[in-house]
Amino acid sequence: MKLKPKELIEYLKESGMCVFRVNDIHKFTGNRSYSYVLLNRMIKKGVVCRLYNNVYYITNSNPFSVASMVHYPSYVSYLGSLYLSGICDQIPMRIQVVTNKYSKNIFVGKIPVEFVSFSKKLMFGYIKKNLDGCPVFIGEPEKTVLDALHVQKMPFHYIIDVLDKLDHAKLIEYSKRFDNAVIKRIGYLMDISGNDYYNELKHLLNKRYVFLVKEKLKTGKKIKKWRIIDNRWY
């Protein structure tokens, strides 16, 4: 099927594919050679950009949508998720995406995208929304906070700031699917914020102490109840 670049862009948008591969074009044209011709025309016109290898995106697509659709499954987490969920006003300087794939970081235009690799069992707690006419996968705020306690790639004060805006029942239930260190960290943080879930979580705790903040100095105040070393100010 012979198409004009504009027609293909409309087809991709209607299909919710702001990120696509040559095979996606081939399914529509039925001709692989012509698919490459059409793709090169769109790149020259500036309506399509190359992400890497055989992966492309529609130029004016929202960067959050593009970032969350490069891999499947994946979703925007950390500060980007809190911003898109409306519970944090800080605009992130980079987009951080959780996926169970190992991938090099990329740029969407001038915006850096960092892929954070999680195990398959932790690929839950995200939703699909529409952003500027294109799908975007976003971590729920409760899952985002737990992500940030699991692989700590977000300033710690953002976690503290949003705790009272979360669904606490969902937060605690989600925490039970993480490792022991995350359970201890969220249990302790909830405790010092005035919400004691020790009785609900104590059967999941082992006797090993873990640091509250991984990248801080390896010293701090030992909290026996939660087997936590609070090293935020040390």
Can you tell me the distance from the alpha carbon of 165 to that of 13, in angstroms, rounded to the nearest whole number? 34
Report pLDDT digits (tens) over 77-128: 999 999 999 999 999 999 999 999 999 999 999 999 999 999 999 999 999 9
Neighbours of 25 (CB within 10 A): 23
- DSSP string for 78-114: HHHHHHHTTS--PPPSSEEEEESS----EEETTEEEE
On the question of pLDDT at 184 being above 70, the answer is yes
Q: Please count the other Cβ atoms lying within 10 Å of the Cβ belonging to residue 104.
A: 8
Structural domains for the chain: 5-59 (1.10.10), 61-163 (no CATH), 179-234 (no CATH)
pTM, entire model: 0.94
Cβ partners under 8 Å of residue 199, min gap 6: none
Task: State residue 218's pLDDT score.
Answer: 83
* One-letter identity of residue 121: K
Q: Specify the pLDDT at position 1.
A: 58
Please answer whether residues 37 and 70 qualify as being in contact, where contact means their C-beta atoms are separated by less than 8 angstroms. no
Task: Indicate the average pLDDT of the chain.
Answer: 94
pLDDT, position 31:
84
Quick one: pLDDT at residue 32? 85
At residue 2, the pLDDT reads 67
Tens digits of per-residue pLDDT, 122-147? 999 999 999 988 999 999 999 999 99
Q: Does the pLDDT of residue 53 top 90, yes or no?
A: no
CA distances from 86 to 91, 166, 196 (A): 11, 12, 26
Alpha-carbon distance 38 to 32, whole Å? 10
